[in-house]
Every structure is written in structure tokens, then in C-alpha cells.
């Protein structure tokens, strides 16, 4: 058990800890000279069964609240110290408010200096303490009279602490390791040492961890737990870790850091919170209020963004904290905010969402999510989140930010990193199949619906990678078929009307074969077949919507496989020479310069090629728009590639509808010399 002292300056906190443990926690020369505690002090007292009770002695001066807060993180039991001759004082009340904001509900009050007060004064002090505890988590706490000078009551207090130690609930040991650093220093022959309270998990010599938020990789050379050399430290222990690693030193580790399991390293500088404003405040919290945020042993300046109505004194509400620098935290952690002058505590609460959005943060849907996240039990919060829009969570992020293991996500449907409830996943699949059936009924001549159009019409709307994973799973089950960027039911096949099929049989040979890179235009095809130009144009545009053709330029159609082959040829030139010219591309196609330029402009518009003056390079991430399916010497199609949705009325990506950097337009990049980067 870790006991933290609290109380007004000069009420005898340090003397009381010395009487209980025999240790003077004032270790600094200035503390000895001035007779007051300036920084955190630590002491230990033997408990039953070989256990040890650790003490964190905090300063009581109003200007040293930041040090008090650094020590209060991670304590299990509060030892509130009130001098009988003074009674409850301003820092007594502020310390009590801080303990309440940190969620501490286990503790007792030591009524010190009873040797310096008469019975009436002691009785008055008792009444004042009882009143000060009203409405806090320590309401009704036992008051133990004690004198560090005469020793009266010290053994009684010791017995109460030993009894409390036996009643401490074990903290979850299976959670990932976290330790909030409150001291960092070096020792000759040992190197860098950090001390702090283990918030969760276990640590042992040899463990490889991280210092967050910096991300510095560290290894535990050795450790002490509860002031004893140990092989292992666990939840609730005060530990000293001897850390080694590249860059590790007293200048790279500091109070406020958290030493943690590598999987937990994900610093944040924007957090949604449930904020309670102390009743002692004179006015509500204002928008964009500057504050000092205290979390664990860290202190950082921040701004408060209200997510609803102003938070009045004595009430609470949702807010967002925008931090000036990142912190290492977990959802559910407690925090305290103080004013920028560091003169008073304003309030505090719980961290809810470490990946808070910067936009659309006040909408009804978002506030409903925060209501779910405010539930104290992560399992209940997760279940509630999945039962309301957007019906999904980032599985890995939720588990990491709540310090949960994989078992917390058991029973959920995982789709590409997104977690859904079984009910939502089933509904999504049913809606998806119904949407495909409706589309086919209204568009029997189209091969399928665009993937983005399909995704945008479903609820929940999965992220694109997760949606692709879902579609691939349904395709493996044989329930749908994927044709590049288009999706269709497995049994659907787009067919032309018989009269169109007969005409296409005459047109198709003209677009393929040796002349596939320079096919005739609509006017030329109409003349060759003695058919109306409008009829040829109608047929070819229909086939483009079906995905069998691409319209490179007005009335200039190429077979889909041929476009993939030409994209592969461009990729081959890029691989061989880097930047390539239109003339080189023309020569590889054995084509005219004008047609080659039209083809390259088409690729420019869709991001497959990027122009650099008179030269071009290939963007390999866009090659899957035009996978190669024909033979020849072109580069192979990218695995898992998509056929081009260009020209389809349901194509929503935006490519081809706006200027692409590097194309034939005012956004073209400046020319570069051949072979330059």
C-alpha cells in the first residue's frame, strides 16, 4: 500500500512520517535549513507478512501544489494531517479537493499537535475536520489524535494503517506495465535511476520498455521495490528502476514521464474529458480557458474547449483539453486543472478519449459517444459505444488507450482493425447485399456498383481499408464478386441487348489486335461499318460504363485490357530510366505523338503519371487503377489491383474531376533535367 500525506504547511506531516517510519523525508539541504518540505519525500514502514507500506510525503505550501500533485498520483490511501492548534486551513481544503478530484475514497485524518492544544480546541478541530470532509470521497473518515512530540496516538495510527493495508484491493496484475516517474537521477556505478509508483502491470530486470511521451527505448538493468532490492515489481509498489539504453540519462528522463510497456506508447495532445468545476470557483469555465493540467506526475499547460453549455461551479460537463505538449496517459486516468498563476485548483475529472477529434466535436453523435466513454467500466463503455452511431471502434486503439488485453475484444467482429458488435456486423452484411440487389435491378446493363458509392450508402460507414477487407471476405465466401473497383452479386452478369451485342461483335476487332494502341475514333468506326455515328457513340459509352472500355479522349475509346497494358509500359519505362519522355512512350507504343500525348494526359488526370516539365514519372500507388490483364512486355499488374472506375457515373474518388499536380495545367511542377530527382 502507498500512503500519501496531505495537509497545510507546518501541520506536522513530515514529523508524523518520521515518527511512524524513523525516516526523515526532508532530504534536501534547503529543506533542512528552512524547516519546510519543498519536494516529495519517501519512507517505508514494515507491514504484516513481510510486506511494506510506502509513504509519499508532500509539501503543504500553496506554491508547491504542483509537487503535491506529482506525489498524489498512484497513492492508495490518504493520510490527511491537520494540526489541532490551527484546525482546518486553506491548504487543508485544497488538498482535500485534490484528493477528491483524484478519486481517493480511502484514508483517515491524523489530528496532530494535540500536545499543544487544550481539549476544547481539539474538539473544535474535530468538528471542523468533519465538516471539511463533507461531500468528498473521505466523508466520515476516522480521525486519530496524535502527537509526534510525545508519541501519543502514534501506535494507534500505525495499527489503523496496518489494518488498512490488509484491506487494500489487489490491482489488476495482467494489465500492461506503467510507472509514473517522480524522480530521475544518476548514481555513480549504477547510471540512471527513475522512481515512481507502479500504476499497473509488472516489471522485472531485463524488460525492454519505453519512456513516454519521448518514446525513448529503455532496458531495466535492475530494480528496487518498496525500498528493497527485488527481481520484480508490481501494482502499487514504489519502484526504483535502473535504466540503460541509447540516449538514456538524467537529461532525457524527467518527472512527468511514464515508463511503460512498448505497446502503450501513444502520446496525446488533445483529450476529451469529463470536467468537474469546484464549487469554490466564482464563475463558470470559459471557452479556451488557459490552465495547468496535472496528470500523474506530469504538468503541462493547456486550453479548455467546452463541448456543451458552460460548466458552472459545483457542476460537471464534457470538455476537450488541447495541450501544449503531449502526455502519456490512459483513458480513465484522473487529472486536475489549476489556474495559470498556480494560485488555486479549478477542478478535475477523468480522461475519456485520448484521440479526440479537432472537428465536429460538439455534435449529438459525438456527445453520445462521450456519454458511453464516461462509463467507469471499459467493457460497458465498449458495449455502449458499439450500440450507437457510428457503431464501430478502432479495436487496437481502444484496447491500447484503456490498457486492456486482447481478451477484452473477445466476442466482437473484427474487420480490418475495426470492431463491430455481432448484431451490427450482421445488419451491415444484409444491407450491403440488399444494396447490390437494388442496384442490379435498376442497372442490369452495368457490371456492378463502385466500391466507394457502395460504402457511402451503408450504415455503419466503415473506413475504406476495413470495407475492402469486408468485401474480400464476402468474395471468398462466394456471396459477391469483385471486379477491380466495382462490386456485384456473385450471380450477376451485365449483358448487352442482342442488337447491341451484334454491333459490338463488329466493333471489337477494330479496337484490338495490332492496332490496339491507335484504335479508330467514333467517326472512323461509323464510316468503316456504315453505321450512324450517334449509334456507335452510344454503344461505346455504354460499354465504358460497363467497364469494358476507357474513353481516353473525346470519342477515342480503348479496350480496358489495353489501357492496363499501356500503364504497364509506362511503369516499365519508369523502372528502366526514371523520368521518361512522351517520345519514348510513343516509340514503345509504335504510335503517333498526338495519340501518345492523349494517353499520357489521361494517365496524368488520374494520377498514374506525374509530369515534371516535359518528362514524367509513374506513381506506383495508382497503377492498380488500370491493372494489366493482356500479354506483352508491360510490367505486371499490382497484386490486388483494381480496374479503373473512370467514366462510371458512380465513381466518387474525385480523381479525373479535378486538377492533378503534374498534369498539363497551371499546377504543373517546374521542368527538371533528365535523370534529376
Per-residue confidence (pLDDT) for residue 665, from 0 to 100 = 29
CA distance 213 to 216: 8
Proportion of the chain above pLDDT 90, given as a percent: 65
Measured over the CA atoms of residue 622, residue 626, residue 631 and residue 634, the dihedral's sign is negative
Tell me, yes or no, if the two domains 2-166 and 375-495 fold the same way.
no
Proportion of the chain above pLDDT 70, given as a percent: 91
pLDDT per position as a tens digit, 220-270: 999 999 888 989 998 888 899 999 999 998 889 999 999 999 999 999 999
Tell whether the model's pLDDT for residue 197 goes beyond 80: yes
Tell whether the model's pLDDT for residue 667 goes beyond 70: no
pLDDT per position as a tens digit, 397-450: 999 999 887 778 888 999 988 999 999 999 999 999 999 999 999 888 788 898
Residue ranges of the alpha helices (H) in 530-644?
A: 533-545, 560-577, 582-589, 593-605
Query: Which fold does the domain 2-166 belong to in CATH?
Result: Rossmann fold (3.40.50)
pLDDT per position as a tens digit, 606-651: 999 999 998 999 998 888 788 765 443 333 333 333 333 333 333 3
Secondary structure (3-state) at 344: coil
Per-residue confidence (pLDDT) for residue 663, from 0 to 100 = 31
Q: For the CA atoms of 340, 341, 343, 344, what is the dihedral angle to 10 degrees?
A: -20
| 388 DSSP assignment | S
Pick the CATH number of 375-495 from 3.90.1310.10, 1.10.3720.10, 1.10.10.10, 3.60.110.10: 1.10.10.10
In the chain, % helix, strand, coil (3-state, to 5) comes to 35, 25, 40
Tell whether the model's pLDDT for residue 49 goes beyond 80: no
For the chain, give the mean pLDDT. 87
Tell whether the model's pLDDT for residue 181 goes beyond 60: yes
CA distance 384 to 190: 49
Residue ranges of E strands in 308-392 = 316-327, 334-338, 345-353
Query: Which fold does the domain 178-264 belong to in CATH?
Result: Elongation Factor Tu (Ef-tu); domain 3 (2.40.30)
Secondary structure (3-state) at 662: coil
| Domain range summary for the chain, segments of one domain joined by + | 2-166, 178-264, 375-495, 511-677
Per-residue confidence (pLDDT) for residue 545, from 0 to 100 = 81
CA distance 469 to 357: 25
CA distance 375 to 352: 9
Amino acid at each position: 500500500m502507498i500512503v500519501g500525506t496531505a495537509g497545510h504547511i507546518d501541520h506536522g506531516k513530515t514529523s508524523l512520517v518520521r515518527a511512524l517510519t524513523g525516516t526523515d523525508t526532508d532530504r534536501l539541504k534547503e529543506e533542512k535549513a528552512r524547516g519546510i518540505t519543498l519536494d516529495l519525500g519517501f519512507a517505508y514502514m514494515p507491514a504484516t507478512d513481510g510486506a511494506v507500506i510506502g509513504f509519499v510525503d508532500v509539501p503543504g505550501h500553496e506554491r508547491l501544489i504542483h509537487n503535491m500533485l506529482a506525489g498524489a498520483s498512484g497513492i492508495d490511501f490518504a493520510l490527511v494531517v491537520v494540526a489541532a492548534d490551527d484546525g482546518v486551513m486553506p491548504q487543508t481544503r485544497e488538498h482535500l479537493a485534490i484528493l477528491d478530484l483524484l478519486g481517493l475514497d480511502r484514508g483517515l485524518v491524523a489530528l496532530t499537535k494535540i500536545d499543544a492544544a487544550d481539549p476544547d480546541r481539539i474538539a473544535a478541530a474535530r468538528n471542523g475536520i468533519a465538516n471539511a470532509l463533507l461531500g468528498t470521497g473521505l466523508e466520515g473518515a476516522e480521525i486519530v489524535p496524535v502527537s509526534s512530540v510525545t508519541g501519543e496516538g502514534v501506535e494507534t495510527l500505525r495499527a489503523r494503517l496496518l489494518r488498512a493495508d490488509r484491506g487494500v484491493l489487489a490491482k489488476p496484475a495482467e494489465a500492461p506495465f506503467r510507472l509514473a516517474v517522480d524522480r530521475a537521477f544518476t548514481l555513480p556505478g549504477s547510471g540512471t535511476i527513475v522512481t515512481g509508483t507502479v500504476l499497473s502491470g509488472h516489471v522485472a530486470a531485463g524488460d525492454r520498455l519505453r519512456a513516454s511521451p519521448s518514446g525513448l527505448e529503455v532496458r531495466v538493468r535492475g530494480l528496487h521495490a518498496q525500498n528493497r532490492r527485488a527481481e520484480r515489481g508490481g501494482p502499487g509498489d514504489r519502484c526504483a528502476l535502473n535504466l540503460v539504453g541509447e540516449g538514456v540519462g538524467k537529461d532525457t528522463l524527467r518527472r512527468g514521464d511514464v515508463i511503460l510497456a512498448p505497446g502503450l506508447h501513444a502520446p496525446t495532445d488533445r483529450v476529451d474529458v469529463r470536467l468537474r468545476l469546484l464549487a469554490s470557483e466564482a464563475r463558470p469555465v470559459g471557452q479556451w480557458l488557459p490552465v495547468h493540467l496535472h496528470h500523474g506526475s506530469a504538468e503541462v499547460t493547456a486550453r479548455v474547449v467546452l463541448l456543451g453549455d458552460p460548466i458552472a461551479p459545483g457542476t460537471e460537463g464534457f470538455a476537450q483539453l488541447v495541450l501544449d505538449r503531449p502526455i502519456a496517459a490512459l483513458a480513465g486516468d484522473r487529472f486536475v486543472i489549476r489556474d495559470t498563476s498556480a494560485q488555486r485548483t479549478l477542478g478535475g475529472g477523468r480522461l475519456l478519449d485520448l484521440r479526440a477529434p479537432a472537428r465536429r466535436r460538439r455534435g449529438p453523435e459525438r456527445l453520445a459517444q462521450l456519454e458511453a466513454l464516461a462509463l467507469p467500466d471499459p467493457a460497458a463503455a465498449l458495449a455502449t459505444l458499439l450500440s450507437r452511431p457510428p457503431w464501430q471502434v478502432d479495436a487496437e486503439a481502444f484496447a491500447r488507450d484503456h490498457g486492456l488485453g486482447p481478451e477484452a475484444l473477445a466476442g466482437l467482429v473484427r474487420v480490418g482493425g475495426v470492431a463491430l458488435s455481432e448484431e451490427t456486423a450482421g445488419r451491415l452484411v444484409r444491407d450491403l447485399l440488399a444494396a447490390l440487389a437494388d442496384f442490379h435491378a435498376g442497372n442490369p446493363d452495368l457490371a456492378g456498383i463502385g466500391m466507394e458509392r457502395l460504402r457511402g450508402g451503408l450504415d455503419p460507414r466503415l473506413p475504406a481499408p476495413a470495407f475492402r477487407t469486408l468485401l474480400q471476405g464476402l468474395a471468398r465466401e462466394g456471396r459477391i464478386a469483385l471486379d477491380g473497383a466495382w462490386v456485384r452479386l456473385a450471380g450477376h452478369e451485365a449483358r448487352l441487348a442482342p442488337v447491341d451485342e451484334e454491333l459490338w461483335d463488329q466493333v471489337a476487332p477494330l479496337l484490338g489486335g495490332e492496332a490496339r494502341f491507335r484504335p479508330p475514333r467514333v467517326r472512323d468506326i461509323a464510316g468503316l461499318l456504315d453505321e450512324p455515328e450517334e449509334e456507335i457513340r452510344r454503344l461505346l459509352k455504354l460499354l465504358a460504363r460497363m467497364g469494358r472500355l476507357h474513353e481516353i479522349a473525346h470519342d477515342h475509346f480503348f479496350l480496358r485490357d489495353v489501357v492496363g497494358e499501356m500503364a504497364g509500359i509506362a511503369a516499365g519505362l519508369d523502372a528502366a530510366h526514371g523520368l521518361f519522355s512522351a517520345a519514348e512512350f510513343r516509340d514503345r507504343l509504335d504510335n503517333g505523338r498526338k495519340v501518345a500525348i492523349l494517353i499520357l494526359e489521361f494517365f496524368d488526370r488520374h494520377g498514374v503519371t506525374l509530369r515534371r516539365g516535359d518528362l514524367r514519372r509513374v506513381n506506383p500507388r495508382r497503377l492498380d487503377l488500370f491493372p494489366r490483364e493482356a500479354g506483352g512486355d508491360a510490367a505486371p499488374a499490382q497484386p490486388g489491383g483494381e480496374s479503373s472506375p473512370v467514366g462510371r457515373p458512380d465513381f466518387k474518388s474525385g480523381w479525373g474531376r479535378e486538377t492533378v499536380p503534374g498534369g498539363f495545367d497551371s499546377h504543373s511542377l517546374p521542368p527538371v533535367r533528365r535523370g534529376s530527382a
